[in-house]
C-alpha cells in the first residue's frame, strides 16, 4: 500500500495527469458490447467558443450522469463535437482579415472557405481542451464536427427529403435582416433592448377632397420610424372606429413620394392608442406585413426601400425622391440619414404635428417629436438594429414538423424536467412560425438547390442530380445561401451515430439517446428542432427525457455580461480551487432549473471538503486502513462498524433516488453529508480507540476492513462529482485491478443490527446536543460534566452500560448516573427522547448567564422585528436594490435563528 499522500491536497498536481491517463487508456468508452446502452449528446459548442460558466454547469451535469451510469455498468456513450457556427466563425475570420487591411470580398467564395478551414485547424476547438480541464469524460475518439463529410451528407439528405415532401419551400417574406452581417437571422437571435427614441406625429392628407366628419382633410399618424414612410402602402383604421368609417376605401396622397395609398379597415389599428390611425409599411414591419396581406397586397408587390446595408434604394414604383437614395436609414458618423431628412421635409411641407409641452413659466413649447423609451430589436451578434426586410428565403414548415413533438410531450413520450417548462414549450410550438433556414453567408452547408435562367429550382444531393432533373444543356446556377446552423445541429442525436448510412451498429444501439441536458435558453433553438428532426428522419423522439437547467448568475442575481464586468471565468476558478470543487458547486446548486447564483466562497468550501477527504484518507493510511477487495460489505460485529455499513446503504439509496429524479442538488448533498459528517466527523472518531495501544487485535482487524470498504464506497459515490481527487485516493489506498472510473457502483448487500446502529445514533445525538448546549451557555467544549438520567429507556440503559468510554470521550459526560439528579441549578439535554439532567452548580454563574442571554435575546428580537417590518413593506421590496433586499432577508434569518437559540438556552437554565 502506498502511504505517500502529500500532507496537503493540491488539485493541479493530479488533474492533468489523470485526465491524460483516462483518455489514453480508453476509459471514456470501455468495451461493453453486451451492456445496456446509455447515451447522451453534448450541445455542440461553437468551434469559435471558449469555456464560460454556462458551459461549466451544462457539461458538469452531463458528466455527473455519464460517470454515474458508467459506474453502474452501462455502455455509456457521451457524444462530443463542435458546431461550425456559421455567423460566429465567419465573423472571427473576417475580423482577422480586417486586422490585416484585408476583406472577404477580395477572395472567391472557395478561397475564403479555405481560409476558414485553415483557421479551424490552427485555432478552432479551443473549447474542447477546456472541457478536458473540467474533467468531461467524453468519447473523444469519435469527436464530431457539423461540417464533417458524413455530417454534411446527413444535412443535404434532410433538406432534399423535406423539399420533396413539401416541407421546405422558397417564399418572399419579411425576415430579421442584420445589416452589419448582411444576412437573415432568426427571431431567437434577436435581442430586444429598450433605448431612448422619439415619437413623431404626421398629417397624411386625404385625396380627392375627402374630409373627416370633423372637417379635417388629413389623418394623423404617429411613428417611431419616420424613414419607413417612403415605402408606406396604406393607412389602417379599426373597422368599428366611427371617426374614420366615412374614409375607409378612400385614398391618401403620401407626402414626399406623392404615392396614392388606400385607407383600409383592420383590427390591428387600436382606437384607444393615439389617433387610432396606423401607417402600414408591409415591406418593413412584421405586423404591417400581415395587415398588407389582409388588405390584398401580395408579397411580390410590397415595396422595399432599403438595400442589404440598410441604405435607401428606389422602390418598385420609382417614387422615392433622388435626394434620399443612398442615405443610411439612421444618422451615422455625424451625417443625417433618411430618418432625419424625412422629418425635415415633413416639417418644411407643413405635415409635421409638433409635440407641445409647457416650460416652468407655463408657456407652450413646441418640439418636433415626443421622447419615448422604445423596445428595439438588435442582432445578438451583429450588434446593430435589426431591419425587417422583404426578401426571398428558404422556409421549413415548422408547424407541420411540430405536430409530433407536441404529441410526444403531451402523452409523456418525452418528459420535460422540470415540468413547469411544458407550458412554455406548448405555447411556442403551437404558435410556431415558418422557420427561415437560409443565411446569406459563405461559411456553412450550402443549400443544395440550383436555378435555371427562368427561375425554376432543382433540389438534389449533387449538381449532377440537379442537372439530370433540369435536362441536358440547361445552364444551372447554385443557390448562394447556406443553411441556418440550427438546421444541421438538429440532426445531432442521430447523424453523429452514422445516419443516414445503413448498417450502423452504433446508431442501432445508441438511438434514441437516453437523456438530453441543456440550458432552458436553447429549448427552441435546439431542443425542439431535434424533436422535429428525430421524428421526421428516424420516426421517433430523439430521447425520452429533456432536462432544462437554469442560468448561472452573478452573486447579486444579475445576469452575467461583459458590459457589466461581472462575468466569472470558470478556468480561473479551476486554477484557484480545482475542477472538483467547481464541479461540486455546480451540481450542489443545481435545483431543477432554478438559476444559480455564483458564490466563490461556496466553491472554496467544496475545495475544503476535498481537503477533508484527503486528510481522512491520510488518517486511514496511518492506521493501516487500505483498499478493500470486496463489493459486498464485510462482516461486522462492532456497533460502529455495523452503523457505518448501514449509513453507506442509506447513502447509496438516497443518491440513486436523486439521480433517478434528476435532483443533482440532492445527490450531491447526500454524498457530502455522508462523507463529511457520518464518515469523517463521527465514524473516524468512534473507531480511534480501536487502534489504541492494548486494544483488541480482532476488533482492529475488523475495523480496518470495514473502514477501508466504507472509504472505497465514498470514492465511488463521489466520483461522478469529484473525479480527480477520488481517482487519486483510489490508487493511493493500494493496488487496484482497474481505475476508479471503471469501478462498480456500490452494492453493500448487508444486514446490520438495528440495536447496534440505534446505539451509535443515540451516542451521536447525545454528543451533538451536549456540544450545542455548552456552546449556548459558554461552557468550555472540553469540560467534563456529570450527568443524570432519571428515566432511562432500554436503549439508553444498555448504551450507557456498554459505551460509557465513548460517551465520556465524545460527549464529555462522566459519570453518567441512571438516577434522579440532586437539587440545584441544572440544564436538560436530550438524546433521542431520553432527558439528561446536567448540574451546573460551580460550572457557570447562573444569574450572570441569564442576564447575558436575556440581553442578547432582547437585541435580536428587536432587530428581527424591525427587519420583518421592512421586508413586509412593498415599497422596500420593490424599489430597493436587489442586494439590499437579499441582505435584509439574510439578516432577518440570522436574528430569527438567534431568538430561537437564545430562548432555548434560557429555558435550559430554568
Model confidence pLDDT, tens digit, residues 776-825: 888 999 999 999 998 899 999 999 998 888 899 999 999 999 999 888 88
Q: Which residue has the higher pLDDT, 884 or 231?
A: 231
**CA atoms of 423 and 406, how far apart (whole Å):** 11
- Compute the Cα dihedral for 899, 904, 905, 909 and give only its sign: positive
**CA atoms of 635 and 752, how far apart (whole Å):** 9
Main-chain phi, psi angles of 176, to 5 degrees: -80, 110
Q: Tell me, what's the pLDDT at 910?
A: 65
CA 272 to each of CA 241, 275, 357, 375, 860: distance values in angstroms, whole numbers, following the listed order: 10, 8, 22, 20, 55
Q: What confidence tier does 591 reach under pLDDT thresholds 50, 70, 90?
A: confident
Three-state DSSP string of 697-739 = HHHHHHHHHHHHHHHHHHHHHHCCCCHHHHHHHHHHCCCCCCC
Model confidence pLDDT, tens digit, residues 288-333: 999 999 999 999 899 999 999 999 999 999 999 999 999 999 999 8
- Say whether pLDDT at 247 is over 70: yes
Ranges 374-388, 610-624, 881-895: which has the least confidence: 881-895
**CA atoms of 797 and 541, how far apart (whole Å):** 61
How many other CB atoms are found less than 10 A from the CB of residue 122? 8
Query: H/E element holding 367?
Result: strand 364-367
DSSP 253-292: E-TTT--EEEEEE-TTS-TTSTTS-EEE-TTS-HHHHHHH
Q: Tell me, what's the pLDDT at 1?
A: 41
- Say whether pLDDT at 587 is over 80: yes
Average pLDDT over residues 115-121: 93
Q: What confidence tier does 483 reach under pLDDT thresholds 50, 70, 90?
A: very high
Beta carbons within 8 Å of 277's beta carbon, 6+ residues apart: 204, 219, 220, 221, 235, 236, 237, 244, 269
Query: Are residues 255 and 205 in contact, defined by beta-carbon separation less than 8 angstroms?
Result: yes
Closest to 836 measured CA to CA, from 812, 853, 852: 812
Average pLDDT over residues 259-268: 96
**CA atoms of 481 and 391, how far apart (whole Å):** 13
- Say whether pLDDT at 902 is over 90: no
Beta pairing partners, 79? 41
State the cell numbers at 289. 406585413
What share of residues in the chain are helix, strand, coil (percent, to 5)? 45, 15, 35
- Compute the Cα dihedral for 467, 471, 474, 479 and give only its sign: negative
Pairing of strands 415-417, 438-439: unpaired
State the cell numbers at 92. 472571427
Query: Are residues 669 and 606 in contact, defined by beta-carbon separation less than 8 angstroms?
Result: no
Cis status of the peptide bond prior to 363, with omega within 30 of 0:
no
**CA atoms of 903 and 909, how far apart (whole Å):** 10
Rg (CA), the chain: 36
- Say whether pLDDT at 3 is over 60: no
Dihedral over alpha carbons 160, 166, 171, 173 (to 10 degrees): -110
What letter does residue 73 receive in the DSSP assignment?
T
Q: Tell me, what's the pLDDT at 875?
A: 83
State the cell numbers at 149. 463529410
Q: Which residue has the higher pLDDT, 381 or 631?
A: 631
Closest to 207 measured CA to CA, from 174, 250, 172, 256: 250
**CA atoms of 240 and 271, how far apart (whole Å):** 9
State the cell numbers at 842. 460551580
Question: How many CA within 13 A on the CB side of residue 791?
Answer: 5
**CA atoms of 458 and 583, how far apart (whole Å):** 51
Query: For the whole model, what pTM was predicted?
Result: 0.88
Which residue matches cell numbers 442501432?
A: 508
Model confidence pLDDT, tens digit, residues 724-747: 999 999 999 999 999 999 999 999
Q: Tell me, what's the pLDDT at 2?
A: 47
Query: H/E element holding 148?
Result: none
Beta carbons within 8 Å of 257's beta carbon, 6+ residues apart: 229, 230, 315, 319, 320, 321
Mean pLDDT of the chain: 93
- Say whether pLDDT at 845 is over 70: yes
Model confidence pLDDT, tens digit, residues 419-437: 999 999 999 999 999 999 9
Query: H/E element holding 803?
Result: none
- Say whether pLDDT at 268 is over 50: yes
Average pLDDT over residues 328-345: 95
Ranges 89-93, 526-530, 674-678: which has the least confidence: 89-93
DSSP 586-634: HHHH--TT--EE--HHHHHHHHHHHHHHHHHHHHHHHTT------SSPP
**CA atoms of 183 and 441, how far apart (whole Å):** 7
Model confidence pLDDT, tens digit, residues 442-464: 999 999 999 999 999 999 999 99
Amino acid at each position: 500500500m502506498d502511504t505517500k499522500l502529500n500532507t496537503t491536497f493540491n488539485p493541479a498536481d493530479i488533474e492533468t495527469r489523470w485526465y491524460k491517463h483516462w483518455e489514453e487508456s480508453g476509459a471514456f468508452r470501455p468495451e461493453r458490447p453486451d451492456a445496456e446502452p446509455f447515451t447522451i449528446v453534448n450541445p455542440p459548442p461553437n468551434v469559435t467558443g471558449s469555456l464560460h460558466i454556462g458551459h461549466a454547469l451544462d457539461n458538469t451535469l452531463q458528466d455527473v450522469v455519464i460517470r454515474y451510469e458508467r459506474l453502474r455498468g452501462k455502455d455509456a456513450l457521451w457524444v462530443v463535437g463542435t458546431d461550425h457556427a456559421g455567423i460566429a466563425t465567419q465573423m472571427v475570420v473576417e475580423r482577422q482579415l480586417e486586422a490585416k487591411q484585408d476583406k472577404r470580398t477580395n477572395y472567391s467564395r472557395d478561397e475564403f472557405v479555405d481560409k476558414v478551414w485553415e483557421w479551424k485547424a490552427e485555432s478552432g476547438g479551443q473549447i474542447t481542451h477546456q472541457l478536458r480541464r473540467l474533467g468531461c469524460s467524453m468519447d473523444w475518439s469519435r469527436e464530431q464536427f457539423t461540417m464533417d463529410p458524413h455530417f454534411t451528407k446527413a444535412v443535404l439528405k434532410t433538406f432534399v427529403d423535406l423539399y420533396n415532401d413539401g416541407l421546405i419551400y422558397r417564399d418572399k417574406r419579411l425576415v430579421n435582416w442584420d445589416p452589419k452581417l448582411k444576412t437573415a437571422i432568426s427571431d431567437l437571435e434577436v435581442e430586444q433592448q429598450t433605448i431612448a427614441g422619439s415619437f413623431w406625429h404626421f398629417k397624411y392628407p386625404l385625396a380627392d377632397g375627402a374630409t373627416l366628419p370633423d372637417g379635417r382633410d388629413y389623418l394623423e399618424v404617429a411613428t417611431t420610424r419616420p424613414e419607413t414612410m417612403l415605402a408606406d402602402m396604406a393607412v389602417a383604421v379599426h373597422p368599428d372606429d366611427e371617426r374614420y368609417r366615412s374614409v375607409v376605401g378612400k385614398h391618401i396622397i403620401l407626402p414626399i413620394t406623392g404615392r396614392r395609398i388606400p385607407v383600409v379597415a383592420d383590427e390591428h389599428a387600436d382606437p384607444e392608442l393615439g389617433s387610432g390611425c396606423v401607417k402600414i409599411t408591409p415591406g418593413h414591419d412584421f405586423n404591417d406585413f400581415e395587415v398588407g396581406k389582409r388588405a390584398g397586397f401580395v408579397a411580390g408587390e410590397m415595396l422595399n426601400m432599403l438595400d442589404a446595408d440598410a441604405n435607401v434604394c428606389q422602390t418598385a414604383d420609382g417614387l422615392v425622391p433622388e435626394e434620399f437614395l443612398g442615405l443610411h436609414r439612421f444618422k451615422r458618423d455625424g451625417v443625417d440619414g433618411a430618418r432625419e431628412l424625412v422629418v425635415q421635409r415633413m416639417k418644411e411641407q407643413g405635415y409635421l404635428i409638433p409635440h407641445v409641452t409647457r416650460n416652468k413659466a407655463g408657456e407652450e413649447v413646441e418640439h418636433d417629436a415626443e421622447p419615448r423609451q422604445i423596445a428595439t430589436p438588435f442582432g445578438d451578434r451583429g450588434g446593430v438594429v435589426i431591419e425587417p426586410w422583404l426578401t426571398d428565403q428558404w422556409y421549413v414548415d415548422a408547424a407541420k414538423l411540430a405536430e409530433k413533438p407536441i404529441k410526444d410531450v403531451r402523452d409523456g413520450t418525452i418528459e420535460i424536467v422540470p415540468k413547469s417548462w411544458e407550458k412554455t414549450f406548448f405555447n411556442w410550438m403551437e404558435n410556431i412560425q415558418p422557420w427561415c433556414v437560409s443565411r446569406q453567408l459563405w461559411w456553412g452547408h450550402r443549400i443544395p438547390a440550383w436555378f435555371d435562367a427562368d427561375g425554376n429550382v432543382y433540389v438534389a444531393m449533387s449538381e449532377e442530380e440537379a442537372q439530370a432533373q433540369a435536362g441536358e444543356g440547361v445552364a444551372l446556377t447554385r443557390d448562394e445561401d447556406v443553411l441556418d446552423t440550427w438546421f444541421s445541429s438538429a440532426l445531432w442525436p442521430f447523424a453523429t451515430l452514422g445516419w443516414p448510412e445503413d448498417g450502423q451498429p452504433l446508431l442501432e444501439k445508441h438511438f434514441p439517446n437516453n437523456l438530453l441536458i441543456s440550458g432552458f435558453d436553447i429549448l427552441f433553438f435546439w431542443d425542439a428542432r431535434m424533436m422535429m428532426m428525430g421524428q421526421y428522419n428516424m420516426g421517433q423522439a430523439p430521447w425520452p427525457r429533456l432536462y432544462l437547467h437554469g442560468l448561472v448568475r452573478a452573486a447579486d442575481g444579475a445576469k452575467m455580461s461583459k458590459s457589466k464586468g461581472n462575468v466569472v471565468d470558470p478556468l480561473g476558478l479551476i486554477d484557484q480551487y480545482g475542477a472538483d470543487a467547481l464541479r461540486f458547486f455546480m451540481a450542489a446548486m443545481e435545483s431543477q432549473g432554478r438559476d444559480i447564483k455564483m458564490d466563490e466562497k461556496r466553491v472554496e468550501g467544496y475545495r475544503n471538503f476535498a481537503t477533508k477527504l484527503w486528510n481522512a484518507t491520510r488518517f486511514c493510511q496511518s492506521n493501516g486502513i487500505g483498499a478493500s477487495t470486496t463489493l459486498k460489505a464485510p462482516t461486522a460485529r462492532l456497533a460502529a462498524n455495523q452503523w457505518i455499513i448501514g449509513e453507506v446503504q442509506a447513502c447509496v439509496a438516497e443518491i440513486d433516488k436523486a439521480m433517478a429524479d434528476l435532483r443533482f442538488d440532492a445527490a450531491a448533498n447526500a454524498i457530502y453529508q455522508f462523507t463529511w459528517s457520518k464518515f469523517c466527523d463521527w465514524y473516524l472518531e468512534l473507531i480511534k480507540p480501536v487502534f489504541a495501544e492494548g486494544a483488541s487485535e480482532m476488533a482492529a482487524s475488523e475495523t480496518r476492513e470495514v473502514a477501508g470498504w466504507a472509504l472505497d464506497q465514498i470514492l465511488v459515490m463521489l466520483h461522478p462529482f469529484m473525479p480527480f481527487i477520488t481517482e487519486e485516493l483510489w490508487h493511493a489506498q493500494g493496488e487496484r485491478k482497474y481505475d476508479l472510473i471503471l469501478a462498480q457502483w456500490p452494492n453493500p448487500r448487508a444486514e446490520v443490527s438495528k440495536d447496534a446502529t440505534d446505539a451509535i445514533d443515540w451516542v451521536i445525538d447525545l454528543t451533538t446536543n451536549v456540544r450545542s448546549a455548552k456552546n449556548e451557555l459558554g461552557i468550555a467544549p472540553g469540560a467534563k460534566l456529570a450527568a443524570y438520567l432519571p428515566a432511562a429507556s432500554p436503549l439508553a440503559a444498555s448504551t450507557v452500560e456498554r459505551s460509557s468510554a465513548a460517551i465520556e470521550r465524545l460527549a464529555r459526560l462522566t459519570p453518567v448516573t441512571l438516577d434522579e439528579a440532586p437539587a440545584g441549578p441544572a440544564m436538560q439535554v436530550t438524546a433521542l427522547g431520553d432527558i439528561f439532567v446536567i448540574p451546573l452548580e460551580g460550572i457557570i454563574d447562573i444569574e450572570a448567564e441569564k442576564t447575558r442571554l436575556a440581553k442578547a435575546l432582547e437585541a435580536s428580537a428587536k432587530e428581527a422585528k424591525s427587519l420583518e417590518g421592512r421586508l413586509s413593506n412593498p415599497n422596500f421590496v420593490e424599489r430597493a436594490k436587489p442586494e439590499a433586499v437579499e441582505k435584509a432577508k439574510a439578516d432577518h434569518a440570522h436574528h430569527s435563528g438567534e431568538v430561537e437559540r437564545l430562548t432555548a438556552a434560557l429555558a435550559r437554565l430554568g
